[in-house]
Structure 1
Amino acid sequence: MMVFYRDLPSPASLFSTYASLAGTIMMIKPMIHTIIPQPVQNFVVSYLKSLVGSSRSSTTLTLVISDMKGNEGSGIRRKNELYFSAQTYLSSKISPDASKLRMTRDPNNKNVNLYLSQGEVVSDVYKGIQLKWLYLAGSKKTSTVIDGGQDNEIVNSECYELSFDKKHRDLVVNSYVPYVERKSKVIKNEARIIKMHSYSSYSHRWESVNFEHPSTFDTMAMTHKLKRSVMEDLDRFIKRKDYYKRVGKAWKRGYLLYGPPGTGKSSLVAAMANYLKFDIYDLQLASVQGDANLRRLLLATNNSSILLVEDIDCSVDLPTRLQPATTTYGAPQGSTPLTLSGLLNCIDGLWSSCGDERIVIFTTNNKEKLDPALLRPGRMDMHIYLGHCSFEGFKTLASNYLGLSQDNDDTHRLYPDIKRLIDGQVLTPAQVAEELMKNEDADVALEGLVKVLKRKRSESEKCNDESKRMKMIEEDIQD
């Protein structure tokens, strides 16, 4: 059938018809709002949308991950850790083509953080599965009953919608979501600033500063065997959460660092904190007012942290069961002082289970002075002796301070002399470092070190000869 131009309506007729239809709609629309209640309108619209949506994506499952969790109307809302794990993970997946992002600066992070904005979508692939993340934000009015009255407030809420094919539900929930949590933890650790916490007796709380100690296992003047042993022990501890739960032990680990002053005990603590990205809580026992105060302090520490008690042998005189307790300095009248028993209960008693992934470190210059109760198995799991500087430790220090290679024993012409002279209890790593810092010229610095080693050797030999002579005199007198 052919349509001729003369059979088509004129533009004037088309415009007149459109104007009449638009006017009719404008007249009917208020009547619809008046006659049909708003809830009915909303129901019809949502029903039509569900029909369209179900026909279009009937195989899609969407999981909603809200930023807060809690019961409606209870007034108690807590952070949903899974939401924040997803937020951190998705910050590393943002497309360069994203048109709108949220920007924040977290005091615990080194850099500015970029997050998804309203309506932004991130696509991801996991084991061949296509997944889509959508960020949504909004607010709603909530009502809470308090003392017989009703309290209304506007609550802001955020969530991520994770969509994928329904048939992959088990794999996503049981494998992909834990994967997101693990990756989030890695990202947070890389950007995290370690904190050093100390207890203030004035504010009665932990106060913190950024911990920027540069010590690492690479810079420690330790033997490779000891370094490897400590690092492997830390790695094993971090990976054994389920193991500790299965055997019924609190997820904690105790280390006793002992040896003469200047052997690197504090530097090893810093290296462990930098290696694990753990905060350090420096506990000065002299400032603790009693056992109850100690429990409150430890409960206020975070998971994945190091509790450090330096110079445990002389930090405070802890009463034992055989020694009568005296009132701790600064403790309120009539309060129970800090005791050895109270400290031990916090280390490996019932209170030690109030937290996960904790490391307890004691340091001392005189291990023999410690109460045997502190050393029994199960309290300090690993005893690490840090002694005088070995040749292997010297090479690490020479690399740190002078830039010399530590791969070979013949890196410098003076290395053979140093290897011969440094063996034994001659100089501590701190004393060696002091000599190496005196001059940036390797020849001058090492020549100075050789002189010091020779002098120390001579003094030691004279001391040994004198000891032998006195011993012979005593034996002659007894004869």
Structure 2
Amino acid sequence: MSSSSGSYEKYITTAASVAATAMVVRSVVSELVPYEVRDLLYAAGRYLRSRVSSRHTVVIDEAEGLSANQIYDAARTYLAARISTDMPRLRVSRVDEAQGILVGMEQGEEMVDVHDGVEYTWSLVSRDNTPGAASRAAGTTGAYAGAGAKARGRLEIKSFEVSFHKKHKDKALKSYLPHIVATAKAMKDQHRSLKMHMIEYDAWTAVDLRHPSTFDTLAMDKKLKQSVMDDLGRFVKRKDYYRRIGRAWKRGYLLYGPPGTGKSSLIAAMANYLKFDIYDLELTEVKCNSDLRRLLVGMSNRSILVVEDIDCSIELQQREDGEKRARSSSAGEENDDKVTLSGLLNFVDGLWSTSGEERIIVFTTNYRERLDPALLRPGRMDMHIHMGYCTAESFRILARNYHSVENHAMCPEIEQLIEEVMVSPAEVAEVLMRNENSDVVLQDLLEFLKAKRKEVGERKAANENGNE
């Protein structure tokens, strides 16, 4: 017993002596060896450990230079959906009140993910980047906190580290990481908050787009609605097709018809259907073609560019209007001092139209006949959609939306009147919103339509008497 006790005390004494010696050596190295040499020694030590280890580690920094690392953001989104809430420590956050709470890993925790039969171990590492941090890193993270990290001006550098058996290195880089990026993109597209971008001080300003319009609630002809949905669905699936035929990946829609027929609601329904942001281009706020170029190049992919009331939003100069050019030149004005039809067309289907991908362009007008034919040809406005007056089918959609009414005793008479008079869906909707009682509001609508029919009849009779 005494012999074993003596051996144990000797072991403890030796271990303490080694630890003390290591601390002294480390202190001397920190004092005497320049930090550049220390970083090289630490890197060499890690290299030697990696050569004898069966594990391989990929480091994914939060930023690359001054830019955010997209793979880091993708990994954070991907892991948040798979993280186990049984971990002792979790990190939670929310940056948008429209989104739920994002649960993430805390520093020092690990989680395991399995993909294609390979096990991957994830951890979150946070490194100090304050002056002198490299010398305090004790060799485990010192090299990562070197000059490149310092250039970013951050006090803390976060990274995800994913480790796996080194025989799966090719599979991790060529299959697993691309899978994470693709999965995260699909998750963000499904849940992200849409934005409406407007021009303010010659630049885009974004607000949340919370328009509730969908194709289910849209008061629109059923066949026409389905054709629009089919066209949109076909467009977003044809990236390779557009590239193969050598065309920009974009699609143009012209919405035309009387006021109040649902053109703006259709645009919102398209955005909600595709999960695309909207860029509302108010041409009267754009001073010249160069400003127009700058704005449109600044649009993101997967977006809808909207130019409402194109016929009256601005007096576009004709491409061959030499007389106006001459007057501008004589007045000392540059040709780029106004937004021209030619400048606009360059972004619709010219060279500048290739500055982005998966974009939709929508023009709206109340009077299609007023538009320059150059705007209307295929390749610019590929699909022309007539938004007409309210029909019996549109009324049934509105009645269901506003009052959950499918069948009512007054509906047949209302539908007959709607077919006789020209009334917009907006006018019908305004009457349906006057009261929450469906009987009362349908009676109001019936009286409104009768009065409108009478007004139209009197106007027609007056015109006939005036022509006699």
Q: Same fold (TM over 0.5)?
A: yes
Give the residue type in structure 2 aligned to 1:9: S
Given candidates 268, 272, 295, the residue that maps to 2:266 is 268
Aligned partners of 1:388 and 1:424 also within 8 Å: no
- How far apart are the structure 2 equivalents of 1:223 and 1:47? 68
Change over 3 Å in CA distance of 1:258–1:10 after alignment to 2? closer
Provide the residue aligned with 1:9 in structure 2: 3
Task: Give the Å deviation of 1:199.
Answer: 1.2
Given candidates 428, 446, 456, the residue that maps to 1:432 is 428
- How far apart are the structure 1 equivalents of 2:20 and 2:182? 59
Provide the residue aligned with 2:82 in structure 1: 93
**2:189 counterpart of 1:193:** no
**Higher normalized helix content (fraction of residues):** 2
- The CA deviation string for residues 386-417 of structure 1, in whole angstroms up to 9 with x for no partner, is 10111111111111211213xxxxx1111221
Aligned partners of 1:394 and 1:429 also within 8 Å: yes
Aligned partners of 2:421 and 2:453 also within 8 Å: no
Give the residue type in structure 2 aligned to 1:432: V
Provide the residue aligned with 1:80 in structure 2: 69
- How far apart are the structure 2 equivalents of 1:129 and 1:425? 68
1:176-215 correspondence runs (5 A): 176-200=176-200, 203-215=201-213
Task: Give the Å deviation of 1:469.
Answer: 7.0
Aligned partners of 1:398 and 1:436 also within 8 Å: yes
Change over 3 Å in CA distance of 1:109–1:159 after alignment to 2? farther
Task: Give the Å deviation of 1:360.
Answer: 1.2
Task: Give the Å deviation of 1:187.
Answer: 2.3
Change over 3 Å in CA distance of 1:120–1:247 after alignment to 2? farther
- How far apart are the structure 1 equivalents of 2:294 and 2:214? 32
Change over 3 Å in CA distance of 1:171–1:464 after alignment to 2? farther
Give the residue type in structure 1 aligned to 2:301: N
Name stretches of at least 5 consecutive residues in structure 2 with no aligned partner: 130-144
- The CA deviation string for residues 64-114 of structure 1, in whole angstroms up to 9 with x for no partner, is 433334xxxxxx553332221222111111111122233333259633433
Provide the residue aligned with 2:147 in structure 1: 142
- The CA deviation string for residues 7-57 of structure 1, in whole angstroms up to 9 with x for no partner, is x5385x457645754575467557866699896985896477446623xx5
Provide the residue aligned with 1:116 in structure 2: 105
Which stretch shifts more, 298-307 or 283-292?
Answer: 298-307
SS of equivalent to 1:181 = helix
Task: Give the Å deviation of 1:217.
Answer: 1.5
Which stretch shifts more, 436-445 or 112-121?
Answer: 112-121
Give the residue type in structure 1 aligned to 2:187: I
- How far apart are the structure 2 equivalents of 1:44 and 1:127? 33
* TM-score normalised by the chain length of structure 2: 0.82
Aligned partners of 1:197 and 1:206 also within 8 Å: yes
Task: Give the Å deviation of 1:259.
Answer: 0.3
Change over 3 Å in CA distance of 1:167–1:380 after alignment to 2? farther
**2:408 counterpart of 1:412:** yes
Provide the residue aligned with 1:345 in structure 2: 346
Provide the residue aligned with 2:244 in structure 1: 246
SS of equivalent to 1:208 = strand
Task: Give the Å deviation of 1:237.
Answer: 1.8
Which stretch shifts more, 76-85 or 215-224?
Answer: 76-85
Give the residue type in structure 2 aligned to 1:388: Y
Provide the residue aligned with 2:399 in structure 1: 398
Provide the residue aligned with 1:360 in structure 2: 361
Change over 3 Å in CA distance of 1:32–1:143 after alignment to 2? closer
Provide the residue aligned with 1:477 in structure 2: none
Given candidates 61, 67, 87, the residue that maps to 1:66 is 61
Change over 3 Å in CA distance of 1:445–1:151 after alignment to 2? closer
- How far apart are the structure 2 equivalents of 1:282 and 1:269? 11
SS of equivalent to 1:374 = helix
Provide the residue aligned with 1:131 in structure 2: 120
- How far apart are the structure 2 equivalents of 1:20 and 1:130? 41
Change over 3 Å in CA distance of 1:438–1:80 after alignment to 2? same
Provide the residue aligned with 1:73 in structure 2: none
- How far apart are the structure 2 equivalents of 1:183 and 1:450? 52
Which of the two has higher C-alpha Rg? Answer: 1
Give the residue type in structure 2 aligned to 1:122: M
Provide the residue aligned with 2:136 in structure 1: none
- The CA deviation string for residues 195-219 of structure 1, in whole angstroms up to 9 with x for no partner, is 222212xx32222222222222221
- The CA deviation string for residues 107-164 of structure 1, in whole angstroms up to 9 with x for no partner, is 59633433222233333333444433333332413169xxxxx989667543333444
Provide the residue aligned with 1:476 in structure 2: none
Provide the residue aligned with 1:291 in structure 2: 289
Change over 3 Å in CA distance of 1:374–1:66 after alignment to 2? same
Given candidates 428, 444, 447, the residue that maps to 1:448 is 444
- How far apart are the structure 1 equivalents of 2:146 and 2:20? 34
Task: Give the Å deviation of 1:420.
Answer: 2.0
- How far apart are the structure 2 equivalents of 1:371 and 1:44? 70
Aligned partners of 1:142 and 1:154 also within 8 Å: no
- How far apart are the structure 2 equivalents of 1:44 and 1:339? 63
Change over 3 Å in CA distance of 1:41–1:14 after alignment to 2? farther
Give percent identity, aligned residues only: 44
Change over 3 Å in CA distance of 1:349–1:46 after alignment to 2? closer
- How far apart are the structure 1 equivalents of 2:372 and 2:308? 15
Provide the residue aligned with 1:371 in structure 2: 372
- How far apart are the structure 2 equivalents of 1:464 and 1:159? 75
Aligned partners of 1:67 and 1:158 also within 8 Å: yes
- How far apart are the structure 1 equivalents of 2:288 and 2:263? 27
**2:221 counterpart of 1:223:** yes
Change over 3 Å in CA distance of 1:50–1:86 after alignment to 2? closer
- The CA deviation string for residues 307-366 of structure 1, in whole angstroms up to 9 with x for no partner, is 1111000011111134344799xxx96452111000111121111111122211111000
Provide the residue aligned with 1:158 in structure 2: 158
CA-atom RMSD, angstroms?
Answer: 3.5
